[in-house]
Structures are given as C-alpha cells and as structure tokens.
Amino acid sequence: MLFAIPYPIIDPVLIHIGPLPIRWYALAYIGGLILGWAYARALAARDSLWNGAPHPTPQSLDDLLVYCALGVVVGGRIGYVLFYNLPFYMAHPEEIPAVWKGGMSFHGGLAGAAIGIYLFALRYRVPLLSVFDIGCAVVPIGLFLGRIANFIKPELWGRPTDVPWAIVFPEAGPLTRHPSQLYEAGLEGLVLFILLALAIRFGALKRPGLVSGMFGIGYGMARIICEFFREPDPQLGFLFGDATMGMLLSLPLIAIGLVVLIVALRRRPLPA
C-alpha cells in the first residue's frame, strides 16, 4: 500500500451537449474507426506496397468503414451477451441494446467486422484476404483507444498485486491491482500495430493473408498474456485453474491465424 498509485479520477463523460453526454467510451470507438479508416486509405493508396496485387481503392474504403462499424458494434454486443453474461440478459432482454453502459466483446466485434468485410469484398469484387489484411492492420488502433477508455471508465481492472505501479481502482475494493487495461493497450494495441506496420513495410501485403495471419496469432498471444494480469469477469470467474473466457476465445483465433499464415507464406509474392 505504501507504493500504491492513486487512481487518477477522470470523469467518464467528456462533455455534455444539452442533455446528451459525450463519453470517453464512445469517443474511443469513434476515434478508432476514423483513424483506422484514414490509415486504411493510406495503405490502399500506396500501390508500391501491393506490387500490383488487386486491392480495394481508397474511395471504396468509405463504404468499408460503414460495414465494419456496424459489425463491430452489433457483433461486440452479441458476443458479450452470449459469452460473458447470458443469464443476466435472458432475464433482462431490454438491457441488450444499452451499449452505453459497457459490455462489449472484442472477439464478437471481430466476428462482426469479418462479416462486414466479407460482404464488402463480395460487393466490390476484390480479394477477400486483401481486404482482411487492411482491416487487421488497422484494428490495433481501435484496441489501443478502447483499452485506454476501459482505464478511464474504469473497468476490466487487473488482479491484486504489490508491484510498485499498482493502483487502487474505485469500486474494486481496497486492494492494489495491476493496471491491466494499460498492459493491453500497450501489447494488443501499440506493440501489435508496430509489428504489423513493419511487416507491411517489408512487403507483407504482397502475400494476401500474411497480415491477417500475423494479427490472429499476435492478438491471441497478447490477449492470453494480459489475461494473467486481468481480473476475470465476476459473473464468470475462472473457468478452470487460471483459465478465463478471454483465453479460451483467443485459442481458435491463434489456430486460424496460424493456418492463414502458413498458406500465405507458401504462396509466392504476387508479381507486379
């Protein structure tokens, strides 16, 4: 307790516009989508990164933003309802649309975005894996902002610890805890973004699926590591031993990413 860092009290509402509260949580989603859209357009505009491989045009990505935004919100909420708190929402179905109260699943949001990407690729007749590569390259931006929003709220705090940077979170009791939201922002967001950006710099987009496979493996491993420091959801607790739902849902993502990565590496880079 002597070395505990006091939690920096931050109002979860940035500003009120009349009766409408503008929350950091919502801004994280909006900011992630807008910054991701801008980065995706930049990638699509640089033909040298693709070496002539078919890919979406920067203009078509305006529509992809809409597809992914709907997929992330709807899929993220449905995933949370199904995997993290189904008994509560079966008893209170009117609470399901209340996304402003928190409760989003990344894995559900990823599945929703994947459906949106599939529909986009079908409509514009562009290679599905190339669209996935663009989408996976920008996801860490939203992850970084989302985890910072989790810290501001605060929610999804860490397990009890006595490390010098431990924090006492409001509503989490008197124990000092890991700021696991910041661990996730750094590992799932910043580090993963840098790794994928470097891979793209060295030609990963010339092998459709390579960036997607790297993302699946990288995010899955980062999430499992961070789950060892994060307090499990109280309604679920530990599934067995130290295993959590976040770990369990990350295993298929790693497996799929590994398969996609192997297939991409076995293919020759597309010629100009």
How far apart are the C-alpha atoms of 155 and 165, rounded to whole Å? 17
Q: Where are the beta strands (DSSP E) in 25-166?
A: none
270 falls in which pLDDT band (50, 70, 90)?
A: low
Per-residue confidence band for 65, with pLDDT thresholds at 50, 70 and 90? confident
Percent of the chain with pLDDT over 70: 95
13-17, 107-111, 234-238 — which is least confidently predicted? Answer: 13-17
Residue 3 has pLDDT above 60, yes or no: no
β partners of residue 240: 243
Identify the pLDDT of residue 4: 62
Give the model confidence (pLDDT) of 31-60 as tens digits. Answer: 888 999 999 999 999 989 998 778 899 999
Domain positions in the chain are 21-266
pLDDT at 23 over 90: no
Q: What pLDDT, on a 0 to 100 scale, did the predictor assign at position 220?
A: 96
Q: Is 234 exposed, middle or buried (0-12, 13-18, 19+ CB in 10 A)?
A: exposed
* Angle (nearest 5°) at CA 138 between 102 and 31: 45
Q: How far apart are CA 272 and CA 208, in angstroms?
A: 14
Q: How far is CA 12 from the centre of its chain?
A: 20
Q: In this structure, what token pair is assigned to residue 137?
A: 């390259």
Do the bridges between strand 13-17 and strand 20-23 make them parallel or antiparallel, or are there none, so unpaired?
Answer: antiparallel
Instruction: Note the pLDDT tens digit of each residue in 139-154.
Output: 999 999 989 988 988 8
Residue 226 DSSP one-character state? H
